[in-house]
Amino acid sequence: MIIKTPKFWFKNKKEINPLFFTLKPFSKIWEFVTKFRLINGLWEKMPIPVICIGNITVGGSGKTPVTMALQLLLKDMGIRACVVSRGYGGKNKYPHYVTKNDTFCKVGDEPIILSKKGVVIVSKVKKDGIVKAFKDGFDLVLLDDGYQNSNIFKDLSLVVVDSEILFGNEFIFPLGPLREPIKSGLSRADAIVLVGNNYKINGNKIENLRTKYKTPVLEGCINKKKIPKQNKNKKVLAFCGIAFPDKFFKTLKDMGYEVVKTKVFPDHYPYTLKDIIKLKSYAKNYELKLITTEKDLVRIPKRFHEFIDIIEIEFQFKDSMKIKRMIKNLLN
């Protein structure tokens, strides 16, 4: 299902939402079903250590860059790791190694990005992907998402939290962005991975995370890198289909771009030929450069890639020794 992220999810909790009383019953149902599944799950131990990179909110917390950072870190430690992903939006059903020839229609957009840093298996049934990784001789599995998957026991669970957005209005889906209550979600984690470059925005709330839940907090920053084509035009038409488009547009402005026009598509949106021709035509008429995210580019026909700039982001742990110690303890 492809939807746009509702803006009211990130307004002050105390603001009265006209949809509050309509959505509240559905939030209660979601919370009950999630709690029931977690209590009655199989929590089956896998034949290989599993590190889960998940979140307690719907979309956009920074899981993909954190997973990529862990791929590189494990490689540096000499550990043969494999990412297992459901491949959201892809049609592939059975365990499959992602290759450079795969398209987002087959394996999803995020697995294609992750495959640039290491080995990735997409599998609709994550347990099957984990078992395949074990049989193929990997030392460890990085489970992309699946924190609320109660059928699989995770040896190490990392909950990724965006330091600027945190938990939005702190309501359960669909009234807010939470997949489950904050207390139960964070208390179950082995560590919170805090993603962002401006911790002052929510300084008090972040400090509360450290003290209230007694869960280790691993901090990290986001580095941004432009991947330019030949045109050096700083006037851009910026477009994207991600959970939080305004963050992308702000990033461009912070990097010195003049964002003349923006176009927002739903998260994981599969771009059509008509969409790109229309964007390209507008950009040409107003002498603008097209620019988007790395995640969006994999959902665009390759013949248009040469006309579009992208911004790549990478996550870096502030103290990589902390997470390395956690991984070493896990393997020992």
* DSSP codes, 255-312: TT-EEEEEEE--TT----HHHHHHHHHHHHHTT-EEEEEHHHHTTS-GGGGGGEEEEE
Say whether pLDDT at 235 is over 60: yes
Share of the chain above pLDDT 90, in %: 73
Judge whether residue 168 has pLDDT over 60. yes
Q: Note whether 114 and 242 are same-domain residues.
A: no
Domain assignment present for residue 28? The answer is no
User: What does pLDDT average to over the chain?
Assistant: 91
Q: How many CB atoms lie within 10 A of CB 38?
A: 16
Q: Is the pLDDT of residue 201 over 70?
A: no
Q: Which of the residue ranges 148-152, 154-158, 220-224, 312-316 would you say has the lowest mean pLDDT?
A: 220-224
Residue 237, pLDDT score: 97
pLDDT at 281: 96
Q: Note the pLDDT of residue 141.
A: 98
CB 100: neighbour CB atoms within 10 A? Answer: 7
Domain span at 290: 224-313
Q: What is residue 218's predicted lDDT score, i.e. its pLDDT?
A: 94
Q: What secondary structure does DSSP assign to 50-119, as a single string?
A: EEEEE-SBSS-SSHHHHHHHHHHHHHHTT--EEEEE--TT----S-EE--TT--HHHH-HHHHHHTTTSE
Confidence of residue 1 (pLDDT cuts 50, 70, 90): very low
Shared-domain flag, residues 169 and 254: no
pLDDT at 2 over 60: no
pLDDT digits (tens, 9 = 90+) for 20-79: 889 999 999 999 999 999 999 999 999 999 999 999 999 788 999 999 999 999 999 999
Whether residue 226 has pLDDT greater than 70: no
Do residue 293 and residue 244 come from a single domain?
yes
Both 193 and 326 in one domain: the answer is yes
User: Which band of pLDDT confidence, cut at 50, 70 and 90, is reported for residue 7?
Assistant: confident
273 C-beta neighbours (distance < 10 Å), count: 11
Within this chain, do residues 190 and 324 fall inside the same structural domain, yes or no?
yes
Residue 201 and residue 64 share a domain: yes
Distance, in Å, from the CA atom of 134 to the CA atom of 115, rounded to the nearest integer, reads 18
- Alpha-carbon gap, residue 78 to 327, rounded angstroms: 12
Residue 59: CATH number of its domain = 3.40.50.300
pLDDT of residue 200: 67
Q: Strand, helix or coil at 8? A: helix
Domain identity same for 204 and 288: no
206 to 100, 193, 197, 330: CA distances (angstroms) = 39, 11, 13, 27
Residue 39 lies in a domain: no
Where b means 16+ CB within 10 Å and e means fewer, 299-325 reads: bbeeebeebbbbbbbebebeebeebee
What confidence score (pLDDT) does residue 16 get? 62
Residues 251-297: tens digit of each pLDDT: 999 889 999 999 999 988 999 999 999 999 999 999 999 999 999 99
Q: Which residue has the higher pLDDT, 152 or 208?
A: 152
pLDDT mean over 101-118: 94
Pair (92, 213) in one structural domain: yes
* Residues 59 and 124 occupy one common structural domain: yes
What 8-state DSSP symbol labels residue 314? E
CATH number at residue 261: 3.40.50
Is the model's pLDDT at 227 over the cut of 90? no
Q: Are residues 217 and 182 in the same domain?
A: yes
Q: Rounded distance, CA 162 to CA 51, Å?
A: 19
Q: Which residue has the tokens 């697995």?
A: 111
